[in-house]
Amino acid sequence: MKKTKSLKKWAAIVPLALMSITMAGIPVLDSPVHAAVATSFSDVPAGHWAYGAVDDLVKAGIVDGYGDNTFKGDKTISRYEFAIIIAKAMDKFETADEKNKQLIDKLSAEFAGELNRLGARVAKVETKTNTWIGGETRFRLVGNDPGIGNKLSGSDTFEFRQRIKFWGNVNDKMSFFGRIATTGGNKFGNAEYASGSEIALDQMTVTAKDTLGFDSIRVGRSALDFITTGLIGKPMNVDGILLTNSWDKLSFKGWTGNIKTNKWDAANARFSDNDSYQFTTGQLGYKLSNKVTLYGGYYWADVSGASSIGGFGLNTNRGSFDSSQGWTSSVVYKMGKYTLLGDYVGSKLDRAVDLPDNPKGWAVQFSNSQAPPAMYQAVGLVNPAKKGTDAWMVSYRSVDAGALPSGAGGFDTTSVANPGQPYNVFTHSTDNVNAWFLAYQNVVAKNVVLSLEYQDYKIKDRGLTSLSKDRLDKTYMTKLEFFY
């Protein structure tokens, strides 16, 4: 159904406002609109928690503020002005990270009455609509300068991807999200091949708020939410359950689920039933100050690792282990318009053979991005809705063999290489590797993002390989994405 630009905006605002109103126990439209608005201009007192909450949303780039596009935390404003700012934040709800989603929820509950009055003109129409649709279209031109293997050529250099998203409300405390996407290699020039023509349901979740003592519980198929700032994570589909909670400056995030497809049982021509690949994490975050946030956590991975020079497993030609566990920590340091991220993982390999049993990995990223603090590409650098904005980042990572569980490497999908190259195309981004990563993004038109990326990979421990030199690959990418 085609809607006007104005109606699309209120389609995002009104259901969330109504949900907040119900949760707060405030009746909907309980008085004439003109009388309600007249009483909504009372000032919010100085020192009210909402000023700090909105300031955090401004710093995260979710809202610009009000009037002259600034939010002045030292100026007392009215409840009605706050509602306008919160309405803008609710418009960006789906692009916010979990912590800022919780802030938006809390603010929308506090100012539910004012939000209701803002949406009174379209409430009767929008209460009948609780499902929305959006999508992403992506084109990528990729290239490489391999130290080993073959150079990308032909259709391998031009890729595309299409995603269609559905989301909405089940009731006042529950929401859903679903996404279908093209599958496989998605190569231009391979139109006769099924890859890129087939689609799959790659994400489907139901989220309940304020349930069983948690701020939110999400169940279903989704991306593996990054742990700490993104050295561990996965932007592709995994099946599991996410729990979140927050208390003032402290936050919690826990996840458990299946991160890989079961092994193929060739003898019986089916996937094995006894390889669960269970992955479990628990993380705490603490906001030390407006500039510094600390994260720490632990993971357990029932995921084995083995070398294979044929292109699967570790970036080694020897060694294996049965499972792993380890602790993670990171720091987010904001320095004006710049952000420094540091992430560390220390793992212990169970029953390791021909491998160090205590591998480690770390990554740092320096950027002028105002996006939620996480390694690129766990989140992008820019807000696609802000035409003319741009941002850059520089990062470096160093990861021992086996330090990150297979299927949970936050940089796994950033690699581009010839499928026949002699080391794993995916894990050569996150296993036994040292890598520089540079990226630049520019919003060339509203909801159209141009990205430029460069990576330089080197093997970290050549003694675990059969290579005669450290150089593994250099990759280049130009990407154009459309969001709607």
Work out the pLDDT band at 28, boundaries 50, 70, 90: very low
Least confident among 12-16, 105-109, 151-155, 423-427: 12-16
Domain formed by 131-483, architecture: Beta Barrel (2.40)
Buried b (16+ CB within 10 A) or exposed e, 4-31: eeeeebbbbbbbbbbbbbbbeeeeeeee
The answer, yes or no, to whether residue 156 has pLDDT greater than 90, is no
Maximum C-alpha span of the chain: 79
412-432 average pLDDT score: 75
| Position with higher pLDDT, 193 vs 340 | 340
Question: Residues 178, 168: contact at Cβ < 8 Å?
Answer: no
CA–CA distance, 426 with 160 (Å, rounded to integer): 18
Decide which of 440 and 469 is more confident. 440
What residues have CB less than 8 Å from 87, skipping those under 6 apart? 13, 17, 115, 118
d(CA 442, CA 126): 34
pLDDT band for 9, please (50, 70, 90 cuts): very low
What is the Cα–Cα distance from 484 to 482, expressed in whole angstroms?
Answer: 7
Evaluate if residue 1 carries a pLDDT over 60.
no
Residue 241 DSSP symbol = E
Mean pLDDT calculated for residue range 405-428: 76
Are 375 and 341 in contact, with CB atoms under 8 Å apart?
yes
The pLDDT-based confidence of 420 (bands split at 50, 70, 90) is: low
- The token duo for 4 is 């006007």
- pLDDT of 191: 66
Q: Is 404 exposed, middle or buried (0-12, 13-18, 19+ CB in 10 A)?
A: buried
State yes or no: pLDDT of 122 exceeds 50: no
> Which tokens hold the place of 153?
């050529």
Please give the backbone phi and psi of residue 365, each rounded to the nearest 5 degrees, phi first: -145, 135
CA-to-CA dists, residue 52 to 49, 456, 476, angstroms: 6, 41, 41
Q: What tokens appear for 20 in the block?
A: 């907040």
Q: Where are the domains of the chain?
A: 5-126, 131-483
DSSP 184: T
pLDDT in tens, 449-458: 999 999 999 9
Read out DSSP for 16-82? Answer: HHHHHHHHHTPPTT-S-HHHHHHT--PBPPTT-HHHHHHHHHHHTTS---BTTTB--TTS--BHHHH
Supply the pLDDT for residue 187: 80
Q: What is the mean pLDDT of the chain?
A: 81
Task: Give dist(CA 23, CA 50) in Å, integer.
Answer: 18
Mean pLDDT, residues 457-461: 93
Which residue has better confidence, 206 or 80? 206
pLDDT for 377 beyond 50: yes
- Cα atoms in the Cβ-side hemisphere of radius 13 Å centred on 472: 31
Of 87-101, 245-259, 292-306, 425-439, the least confident: 87-101
Q: State pLDDT tens for residues 305-349.
A: 888 654 457 888 889 999 999 999 999 999 999 999 999 999 999
If pLDDT is split at 50, 70 and 90, which confidence band does 102 have? confident
For residue 255, give the nearest of 274, 228, 273, 275 by alpha carbon: 228
